[in-house]
Amino acid sequence: MGLTSQSTGRSTTREIFNIKRNNNEPVIALAGNPNTGKSTLFNALTGLRQHTGNWPGKTVLRAEGSFIHNGRRYTLIDLPGTYSLLANSADEEVARDFICFAKPDATVVVVDATCLERNLNLVLQVMEITSKVIVCVNLIDEARRKKLRVDADKLSKKLGVPVITTAARSGEGLPRLMDVISDVVWGRLTPKPKLVRYTGEVEEAIARLEPKVRAAVGDGINARWVALRLLDGDTKLVQAMEKFLSEKEIVRVAQEVLA
Amino acid sequence: MNNTVSLGCLTNGSFALVTELVAEGLTRRRLLDLGLVPGTKVEVIRRSPVGDPIAFGIRGAVIALRKEVANKVLVNPL
């Protein structure tokens, strides 16, 4: 018997997140800072009318829809807008738990072309959790109006992940975005995120911790990232792991580290 | 740097550079995530009618912070 989603435990984790899995449809997550046009992009791709509005906290939980590209159906999840995945608020926890535990087949980080710099923090954080990242530089029409030029190729080289410019409102760049999503999902394109390297001391601690974490949780979630969070004293992540993973071993490892 | 003040004390329309965050834990993390790392230029845009919260221009976005939180950001006025 091959590795079905049942046997690898992925379907059970996704069931907790209430995702209807039809014929192993790939799951794509939309993440991004507040007010970068995630919901507009979501609507443009799915044809749905998810409420959009210009105020923070509009997408309180998450919306789900689907789109068809080259005859294949993809499930799209619109996550709440966050500045970070480091679990300060309920929104951030929803986004983090989803990317970390539901393991989407690709995560599209939507960033605002008019204030790119401040959006890259989240991009780096998502890249630390998963390598299947696509950066969507949205609101490119507004950036043009402000005489800003975004060098997508250079950004892509620097980050090690594909970068697509879009204007979700007018539909610009969406066919290309869907092409790249499918390339990443089906392995025709493998993003190689350039990860943040920390100071010697921190890297040393990660190196010591990572094998222990991997032994406890397997390859289910990114061991380097969990090690980093534990070093940060992130107790909420440990709670989340208790909820989403059956292994109790990690809790023991975590308590050891935090002690 | 003897003219360091907290961000909440600046008047509307003024600019400052972040020098230090005196917050810890999640508040610190939050401020860093909003882009308030040392060296960042911040503009005081306006105040709500009661003077709290205050809207700041940080790295291209307008962000409102409670005075209590803004005072944990130490800055050098420009």
DSSP, residue by residue, A38-73: HHHHHHHHH-------SSTT-SSS-EEEEEEETTEE
Q: Which chain B residue has its CA at the smallest distance from A114's CA?
A: B60
The answer to whether residues A66 and A106 touch, using CB atoms and an 8 Å cutoff, is no
Residue ranges in chain B modelled with pLDDT below 50: none
Delimit the domains of chain B by residue range. Answer: 5-77
Residues of B in contact with A115 (CB under 8 A): 59-61
User: Domain locations in chain A?
Assistant: 10-185, 200-258
pLDDT score, position A10? 47
User: What is d(CA A93, CA A75) in angstroms, rounded to the nearest whole number?
Assistant: 21
Q: Is B29–A86 a contact, with Cβ atoms under 8 angstroms apart? A: yes
pLDDT at residue A216, rounded to an integer: 78
Say what the pLDDT of residue A48 is.
77
Interface contact A86, partner B, CB < 8 A: yes
Question: What are the chain A neighbours of B31 within 8 Å (beta carbons)?
Answer: none
CATH number of A10-185: 3.40.50.300
Do the Cβ atoms of A117 and B61 come within 8 Å? no
Select from B26, B30, B61 the Cβ nearest to the Cβ of A118.
B61
Whole-model pTM: value is: 0.83
Helix (H, G, I), strand (E, B) or coil at A109: strand
Cβ atoms of residues A178 and A69 within 8 Å: yes
Nearest-neighbour CA in chain B from A65: distance (Å):
29
| Continuous segment of H or E residues that includes residue A236 | helix A235-244
How many Cβ atoms from other residues are within 10 Å of residue A88's Cβ?
18
Task: Give the architecture-level CATH label for domain B5-77.
Answer: Roll (2.30)
Q: In angstroms, rounded to a whole number, what is the distance separating the alpha carbons of residues B30 and B8? A: 17
The confidence score (pLDDT) of residue A1 equals: 37
ipTM over 0.90: no
Q: Identify from B30, B33, B58, B59 which residue to disrupt to test chain A contact, counting A C-beta atoms within 10 A and taking the largest count.
A: B33
Stretches where chain A sits below pLDDT 70 are: 1-23, 49-62, 87-88, 245-259
Sheet holding B5-6, edge to edge: B5-6, B73-77, B15-21, B41-47, B54-58, B61-65
Shortest distance, CA B36 to any CA of chain A (angstroms):
10
**Rg value, chain B, Cα:** 11
Tell which residue, A229, A4, A18, has the closest CA to residue A128: A229
Helices (H) and strands (E) in chain A, counts: 11, 6
* Separation CA A37–CA A216 (nearest Å): 38
Report the alpha-carbon distance of residue A161 to residue A153 in Å, rounded: 10
pLDDT at A249: 61
**Residue in the structure block whose two tokens are 């949205």:** A138
Cross-chain residue pair A88–B30, CB shorter than 8 Å: yes
Cα separation, A77 vs A102, in Å, equals: 11
> By C-alpha distance, which of B76, B51, B78 is closest to B65?
B51
**E-strand spans in A161-245?**
163-165
Determine, for residues B60 and A114 on separate chains, whether the beta-carbon distance falls below 8 Å.
Answer: yes
